Chain A
Amino acid sequence: MASEEMEQLVRREYKQGFVTDIESETVPPGLDESVIAFISQKKGEPEWMLEWRLEAYRQWLKMTPPSWAHLDYPPIDYQAISYFSAPKKPEDRPQSLDEVDPKLLETYEKLGIPLHERAALAGVAVDAVFDSVSVTTTFKEKLFEAGVIFCSISEAIRDYPELVRQYLGTVVPRSDNYFAALNSAVFTDGSFVYVPEGVTCPMELSTYFRINAANTGQFERTLIVCDNKAQVSYLEGCTAPQRDENQLHAAVVELVALEDAYIKYSTVQNWYPGDEEGKGGIYNFVTKRGDCRGDRSRISWTQVETGSAITWKYPSCMLRGKESIGEFYSVAVTNGRQQADTGTKMIHIGEGTRSTIVAKGIAAGRSDQSYRGLVKIGPRAKGARNYTQCDSLLIGDQCGAHTFPYQEIGNSSATVEHEATTSKIADDQLFYCRARGIDEEDAVSMIVNGFCKDVFQELPMEFAVEAEALLNVTLEGSVG
């Protein structure tokens, strides 16, 4: 499609009563093909990309939101969302920290977030001069030397179209699910990583230093490709509770590991969960999937989820390559009125594939959470092995935890082990600690951290320390 045609398309929709000003930096709320064309044009995308988006949109129109998750939220009005907007003008944002929810600031304090970052995280209009700018430059140089590509997805579409085209949507097809289809149609931000053959990425990659100043997008798209024998560790998110005007977040993350490649993807997610009544919290509907395409490849998901009003998330692995390995280590914490429905899927396709699932759920307050895990062993996956361990810990008696393990075993040579426990934070454990002089809150955090140990030890060091602090802040006031 030539660009005139694209403009025509935009205009045509305009004639039908939709107000789209191509000169403007923002589209009004609502979604149709003209909005998608607008986004694509704004991003300076090639036409195959627009077509790709439009196809996703058309699929999306035919789909319905999933209703099977164990979640309860009012229907989302997709026509009330604005799908492209330039960052808020400084004058529309809080002008100083005095205008920010004091509770949020208190939390930053407890997490030890440096002052200048607190303002940015809370959305205050600041001239963001970060110490990290120079650091970032050094990082970039190092990566460049190693041949690693690390940039925003928009840049990648412009600068490395052949790579993006080769892999985008090959792990999470556009029609995979309702939110993935929506994301495919309208994504505007996210990261792209390519690690060439034989290269071990010289540092841990973190979105944190890439978009320190920028707002995180509502519809992020991340694509990470590790070529043969390449390795990368990618850290997503940050422990500070992030506020966002956008209630709905629907990200897609695709990982591709070729022969002998290893991708380690760690997330600490701490979106604003809303006030005590759950108001203003983020809805987080994410599709994350890794494709172990090459033999002996390995993909490992580690996540600590504490934020959001609603979380719907199942990082998964497609184990295609012979003897490839999928891992999922997760801690999900809910408190207040949060709801979470998380889990994983391990799809064993290749011979001798192995997967490990360790899921720890902690529910406090009046929160509700579910673990949903699928282990599927295909007919060709001879000798495949899965080990699943799934533990829930309840704090108090107003919260809930549910486990939904699904197994589809199509091969008699497979070994699938499943262990599940649900425990209340045991009164006698608490008593034991307190009878040693440790106060109740410290005792709870000690027991909970102990409970999460198996997962925390999978996190990169500095993340693990932050995760512990985060857990304590999240659970504060959940006892007594």
Chain B
Amino acid sequence: MLEVKDLHVTVEDKAILKGLNLTVQPGEVHAIMGPNGAGKSTLSAVIAGKDGYEVTQGSILFEGQDVLEMEIEERARAGLLLGFQYPIEIPGVKNIYLLKAALNAAREARGEGEIPAPEFMKLVREKSAEMQMDPSFLQRAVNEGFSGGEKKRNEILQMLVLQPKLAMLDEIDSGLDIDAMKVVAKGVNSLRSADRAILLVTHYQRLLNHIEPDRVHVLVDGRIVKSGDKSLALELEARGYDWVLEESVA
């Protein structure tokens, strides 16, 4: 589904990703862990198409398509969706309005018509209930004045409505209290299916107790230096990153 090959990325002439390889198959959940500043957010941002990153080498394929040739919105409509580490506030724009515009953009790209209003209302009500968000959030401006945890839940709400093929969730667990973590995890798990994949960036094993990953990767200094199954996350939790570094240098 997703194939990242030998990816080199620079930001303002500074090399951030230095030959990163990653393959994600449909139905899989991958977790990416690694120290601060390693390049985890950079990876997801580059896949989503954010400006300011220069790909100097390598390729990204999504369902066989060259992602680097696609506009940001094309990637999203193709089913490649980024959940933000720091969701942006958009004053004056209703949450529900953004959701509807996004959903209709994707439908239009698939050659479907706009979603009928009653159907849409039913859908968003249902999904916000799943995220335990009061319907009043739909009428508020996008993320404006939302608490940190509410913002994160709102990101997942968007995922539930838009049903991406590949959801990339960047530190979706940061700033969540224990109950919210469970709600978010439940939301993410409901996205799991045989034809969908999820890429989780996280620092904590805790999240992975709730969302069980198929693969765990350690990203250090712009490269994936170690991959394993979910037990790798437990090991990282217990031992930190140093041993991985030593191992990879050796």
Contact = CB atoms under 8 A, between A and B. Distances in A.
Interface in B139-169: 141, 158, 162
Contact of B81 (A435, A452, A453): A435
A437 B73 contact: yes
A452 B87 CA distance: 22
Contact of B77 (A426, A433, A437, A454): A437
Contact of B97 (A435, A440, A446): A446
A450 B94 CA distance: 8
Contacts, number: 78
Contact of A450 (B49, B75, B76, B92): B92
Interface in B85-102: 87-88, 90-93, 97-98, 101-102
B113 to A, nearest CB: 16
A449 B93 CA distance: 8
B48 interface: yes
Nearest to B78: A437
A428 interface: yes
B90 A454 contact: no
B87 to A, nearest CB: 7
A267 B47 CA distance: 46
Chain A interface main SS type: helix
A427 interface: yes
Interface residues of A, number: 23
A175 to B, nearest CB: 42
From A429, A450, A452, residue with most partner B Cβ within 10 Å = A450
B73 A432 contact: no
A436 interface: yes
Question: How large, as a class, is the contact surface on chain B?
Answer: 20 to 34
B134 interface: no
A432 B102 contact: no
Given A436-B158, A437-B77, A437-B162, A454 B101 contact: no
A426 B109 contact: no
A104 to B, nearest CB: 29
Contacts of A449: 92-93
A-B residue pairs, 7 tightest by C-beta: A450-B92, A453-B92, A450-B93, A437-B76, A436-B102, A434-B72, A437-B105
Interface of A: 426-429, 431-440, 442, 446-447, 449-454
Interface of B: 48-51, 71-73, 75-77, 81-82, 84, 87-88, 90-93, 97-98, 101-102, 105-106, 109, 141, 158, 162
Given A435-B73, A439-B105, 20 more contacts: A426-B88, A429-B88, A431-B50, A431-B51, A432-B88, A432-B90, A433-B90, A434-B76, A435-B76, A436-B102, A436-B158, A437-B77, A437-B109, A438-B105, A442-B101, A446-B98, A449-B92, A451-B91, A451-B92, A453-B92
25 contacts: A431-B72, A432-B88, A432-B90, A433-B102, A434-B73, A435-B48, A435-B73, A435-B76, A435-B81, A435-B82, A436-B105, A436-B158, A437-B105, A438-B105, A446-B93, A446-B97, A446-B98, A449-B92, A449-B93, A450-B91, A450-B92, A450-B141, A451-B91, A453-B91, A454-B92
